[in-house]
Amino acid sequence: MEDLRSLAKFVNDSIQQIGDSYSRRGMTFPFLEEPFAAGNANACYDDPVVKQAAANAIAAAAQIAAIVRPPSDTIILTSHQDLHVEEIARLAFISANRLSRILRLLASEHIFAEVEPDVFANNRISSVIDTEKTLEEIPANPEGKYVGTSGIATVVDHIVHHGQKSSAYLTETLLGPKTAFSEQPTDAPLNRAFRTDLTVWEWLELPENKHDLRFFSMAMRGNSKILPADAILNGHDFSALTAGSVVVDVAGGVGSQTVLLARAHPNLRYIVQDRAAMSGEMQQNVSVFFMRMILHDWPDDKCIVILKNLRGAAQPTTKLLILEFLLSFAVPTTASGIQDDDTPKPPAPLLLNAGHAGLLPHLYDMTMMVGMNGARERTLEQFGALFDASGWKIERVYRAPYFVNAHSQIVLVPV
């Protein structure tokens, strides 16, 4: 019972901290039933104290639930206008009987609100995925369904359409004789789900998948609303570079990270090289290479190829910055030999990976598993093995605090 009492105290103390922060700013904590309002709904979360208190409360509450909820129950859980389910079903051309069961399940998890029997409304959570388009507009222009939204709804669409369908084949993939130990990207659950022998990237680029590719691209932009986009600025000191130093955004796509850097440090020279890391045709005389969310797309052997190609192009003074999630163990470890004691740790008796509050990187890891097979999120120890095999060593780690869902930054130097 002592753990339960400690956890309950964390919840109470965290609520007090959040309330104090809102009071100091003259703000009122929003009700769950209120619609999500972009721009001010998360205004108080720019206070690190509030972020940490919220993470503590979430983790502690989830741990309390895991302790007191019967295991048999746990295993199966994992426009602000009121409308009767019959009216929603009529507008959406769906069975009212089935829809009401789905909505009630979601409302039981506080996604939507059942304001009267069989009458449902958006709340703060469900309104995040509201496209703000009418049920007449969407069928008339399905390609424009998510245009003008934050993109978060597109992330949900991607998870449901690609991730959950593929997850249905995870068991067969894990146990299948051909795929059980395969790291090949064409042996993913997605390949079984969508009956393709192509990698996910090749499959998305097929002409018949133009719609999927468009929504996937929008979902990736939507990720920027979920994860802080400025992680590149929170670590390595770019101001220490001399004017004109070359910074290369490796596999940088349209260069969104480069734009952030260029605004903060306009005296440097920037180059975006989107696919050169795999071919080995890298820019020479570079001060800093950086990669954001690239290595998690590839199995270990391909990561080593990329890292070796960068090592071959590096000078003795070149730095390589890796921006990725860093998975944490739930228990203490010093196996990496890299200490980052300045990073706040969850207080006991919370799990050292923050438990429920730290789930997002692990959910991303599962997404990589079902969609790309050998691709994965990694621990610092797993990254260290890649660096050892490719001629790099860790100079410093800027780990994101456990109460912030953000990418960490690993600074590497050539061996």
Distance CA 398, CA 412 (A): 12
What pLDDT, on a 0 to 100 scale, did the predictor assign at position 77?
Answer: 47
Phi, psi of 120, deg, nearest 5: -120, 155
- Reference 55, options 360, 413, 295; nearest CA is 360
Sequence-ordered list of residues with C-beta below 8 angstroms from that of 134, at least 6 positions apart, any chain: none
* pLDDT tens, residue by residue, 190-221: 999 999 999 999 999 999 999 899 888 888 88
The CA–CA distances, whole Å, from 227 to 35, 221, 230 equal: 21, 10, 9
* Cβ-count burial 79-92 (b if 16+ within 10 Å, e if not): eeeebebeebbeee
* pLDDT tens, residue by residue, 273-327: 876 555 667 888 999 999 999 999 999 999 999 999 999 999 999 999 999 999 9
What is the per-residue DSSP string for 330-389? Answer: SS---TTS---TTS--PPTTS-TT-GGGG-HHHHHHHHHHHHHTT---EEHHHHHHHHHT
- Which residue among the candidates 158, 162, 236, 296 is catalytic per the annotation? 296
What domains are there in the chain, each with its CATH number?
2-74 (no CATH), 83-139 (no CATH), 152-224 (no CATH), 231-414 (3.40.50.150)
What pLDDT, on a 0 to 100 scale, did the predictor assign at position 236?
Answer: 94
Question: Higher model confidence: residue 183 or residue 342?
Answer: 183
- Three-state DSSP class for residue 289: strand
What is the per-residue DSSP string for 128-165? Answer: GG-----TTHHHH-GGGTTTTS-SHHHHHHHIIIIIIH
Q: Which two tokens stand for residue 85?
A: 């389910």
* pLDDT tens, residue by residue, 221-232: 888 778 887 889
* pLDDT tens, residue by residue, 369-399: 999 999 999 999 999 999 999 999 999 999 9
- What is the pTM assigned to this prediction? 0.85
Q: Which two tokens stand for residue 184?
A: 């090949």
Would you call 296 a catalytic residue per the annotation?
yes
Size of the chain, expressed as the number of residues it contains: 415
- Three-state DSSP class for residue 290: strand
Phi, psi of 400, deg, nearest 5: -65, 140
